[in-house]
Structure 1
Amino acid sequence: MNIAYLLLGSNLGNSIKYLSDASKLITQRLGAVTSASSLYQTASWGKNDQPDFINQVIAIGTELGPSDLLKGVLSIELALGRERKEKWGSRTIDIDILLYGDQIVNESDLKIPHPFLHERRFCLEPLCEIAPKLVHPSLNRPFVDLLNDLSDSLFVKKLS
């Protein structure tokens, strides 16, 4: 069994429902959710002229390898109406593979750890909430240290 950390995000429609539906499909198709962060309202990153996102990090136990996990994630995004029209554009659902155990994957269509993970507050805050002792596998630094040293000042607010 491998532990993978996924970032769920949505800024179109009923974002909270999209995240909930994504978690259910992930459990059915990819592996059981073993922990889930709070929901966070976050400013859009990379393209600022769009609605705020709702984000959440989940950990799953999966038997799938990284490539099959990616295929499953993409099929769930498609099932939930994800349309890829523009980079960093608004979307019903976005599911990013942040980490897959302590593996480093560097393929043309898959990079693990996620290449921007250590630069994004909206990833690090929920990740540190559920895995405060986790260490970045290629930077060899605890994620809490990366969060404390972060220069990203975009809006991130935990929802109650």
Structure 2
Amino acid sequence: MSSTYLIALGSNRRHHLYGRPQDVVLAAMEECAAFGTVTARAPVIATAPMGAAQRRFANGALVLSSELTPTALLAALKHTERAYGRRPGQRWGDRVLDLDIILWSGGVWRSVDLKIPHPAFTQRRFVLDPACTIAADWRDPLSGLTVAQAQARLTRPRPLPR
């Protein structure tokens, strides 16, 4: 049975074959086609560093239709990260490639290694901005908000404190 996944992609380090981070993300989008059918690709955007990272990121998103289970897809994505040179290291540090499962057509998935929906996706513009271009109407099964609504909540102007 086929499932649909929203995958977030990010890079902020050059790759010896693919070059700049935005080109790493584009190449990784092509690699993800090995796991099913990529039905939509978001434009790659530049975003500010987060946490311990020192360099700007290139971020994107894609929608994948796949026969893989969530755990099998996670294993395939982690294998791809390692093939691109990702090594275990500092949380939120610089990396050649980061691939995360954000949403899944099956709703909620919880295991030791994987949580869907991704626990922090509604607080991350670098995920929501690209995702909104290809999956704006996809609903978070926990909050009931669409990707577009989550993005609007995150980006809406707020009054300055008095």
Give the TM-score of the pair, scaled to structure 2: 0.87
- What RMSD, in angstroms, separates the aligned Cα atoms of the two structures? 1.6
- Within 5 A, what are the aligned runs for 1:109-120? 109-120=113-124
> Contact between 1:3 and 1:101, CA under 8 Å: does it hold in 2?
yes
> Contact between 1:121 and 1:152, CA under 8 Å: does it hold in 2?
no
User: Where in structure 2 are there 5+ consecutive unaligned residues?
Assistant: 15-19, 158-162
Select the residue among 21, 24, 27 that pairs with 1:18: 24
Give the letter for the 2:8 counterpart.
L
**How high is the sequence identity, in percent, across the aligned residues?**
31
> Contact between 1:102 and 1:137, CA under 8 Å: does it hold in 2?
no
CA distance in 2, matches of 1:43, 1:152: 19
Q: Does 1:40 align with 2:40?
A: no
- Within 5 A, what are the aligned runs for 1:3-14? 3-13=4-14, 14=20
Instruction: Choose 86-95 or 138-147, whichever is displaced more.
Output: 138-147
- Within 5 A, what are the aligned runs for 1:92-131? 92-131=96-135
- Within 5 A, what are the aligned runs for 1:45-124? 45-47=50-52, 50-124=54-128
- Secondary structure of the residue aligned to 2:154 is coil
**C-alpha offsets along residues 58-95 of structure 1, whole Å, 9 cap, x if unaligned?**
00110000000000000000111111211111000000
Q: 1:152 to 1:65 in 2, by over 3 A?
A: farther
> Contact between 2:40 and 2:64, CA under 8 Å: does it hold in 1?
yes
Q: 1:125 to 1:90 in 2, by over 3 A?
A: same
The CA deviation at 1:20 is 2.2
Give the letter for the 1:4 counterpart.
Y
User: Where in structure 1 are there 5+ consecutive unaligned residues?
Assistant: 154-160
> Contact between 1:120 and 1:152, CA under 8 Å: does it hold in 2?
no
Partner of 1:156: none
Instruction: Choose 87-96 or 10-19, whichever is displaced more.
Output: 10-19
CA distance in 2, matches of 1:32, 1:87: 30
